[in-house]
Amino acid sequence: MKILHLDSNHPLMIKELTKMGFDNTEDFKSTKAEVEAKIHEFDGIIIRSRFSIDKAFLDKATNLKFIGRVGAGLENIDVDYAEQKGIKLYNAPEGNRNAVSEHALGMLLSLFNKLRIAHDEVVNGQWRREANRGYELEGKTVGIIGYGNTGRAFARKLSGFDCEVLCYDILDEVGDQNAKQVSLQELKSKADVISLHTPQTPQTMGMINFEFINSMKKTFWFINTARGKSVVTEDLVDGLKSGKILGAGLDVLEYEKSSFEDMFTSSYQLPQAFHYLMKADNVLLSPHVAGWTFESHIKLAQTIVDKISGDFKTK
């Protein structure tokens, strides 16, 4: 069986798949059209986010048996059509859940304690103790929206901070010893912090908007390590300006490319709302790296290898 690798990944993936008897081909530069011209030769594809696997692509992949996506989400694949064609889909939310949850916690603690502002002031000769008085997580209520792999991992991290953790999910009975499952209305009425851990779906696109923000009972901090398009950035900025949102930690942005690559290289003029985020003292930004640790690089690859092995081991 032949596998086409369309993005670079940890070397263990090629090594392990070769040991299992697969014939591996790497192609990180060909255009989508060039790949479509030869995709019929392959039984499997391994991708990250370089381009979408849509209906037209899948129609040309006449021998395709599986797609491995080295990451948590499958939004760049036409899942329904792939499943109609009997193609197995593998993703790896287990591989970076710890990394994402640690990043979310780091962002939250940094916002609470104004670490970025304080650092910048000290290195510029300012010693402002009262202005940089922070908040404690103990006693706060953290609301987690989306209680899958990363949501659960984040709740586990919070278990030692003596805070109340609530979760909301579209599935029933997902709460556990680390988070009490509640309705979205109850979560909005109690939370001091909202942390987003949802996949990108039609239901989650733009879910953090003017209506959501202003239906929160309290002022709150907001963390997003999930998907940027789940947030209407202009509405988020309005919430920051009004004081309804006390601070925001954003690892993902509405304006990202679908490939998650550098959004500053495009001729596209970034909106004014993004420029506000870049300058705001109560905002932390990172370039979609929450799940991008040295350890998760290995775990993501191994997770995909293990899932393929369970169904297609050839030796």
Rounded Cα–Cα distance for residues 88 and 311 (Å)? 9
Rounded Cα–Cα distance for residues 214 and 35 (Å)? 47
Nearest residue to 160 (alpha-carbon basis) of 176, 137, 141: 137
Q: Is 256 noted as a catalytic residue in this protein?
A: yes
Q: Which whole-number Å values give the CA distances from 314 to 21, 22, 41, 166, 298, in the listed order? A: 5, 7, 18, 45, 23
Q: Is 297 noted as a catalytic residue in this protein?
A: no
Catalytic residue among 97, 152, 227, 297: 227
DSSP per-residue codes, 46-82: EESSSS-B-HHHHHH-TT--EEEESSS--TTB-HHHH
Tokens of residue 96, six digits:
């970076």
Rounded Cα–Cα distance for residues 240 and 138 (Å)? 23
Catalytic residue among 256, 261, 275, 295: 256
Are the C-beta atoms of 244 and 285 separated by less than 8 Å? no
Are the C-beta atoms of 250 and 284 separated by less than 8 Å? yes
Q: Is 197 noted as a catalytic residue in this protein?
A: no
Nearest residue to 188 (alpha-carbon basis) of 145, 149, 243: 145
Which residues are 299's β-sheet partners? none
Rounded Cα–Cα distance for residues 100 and 109 (Å)? 14
Tokens 């760049």, residue located: 76
Are the C-beta atoms of 44 and 3 separated by less than 8 Å? yes
The letter for the amino acid at 102 is: E
Are the C-beta atoms of 308 and 12 separated by less than 8 Å? no
Are the C-beta atoms of 247 and 282 separated by less than 8 Å? yes
Active site residues: 227, 256, 288
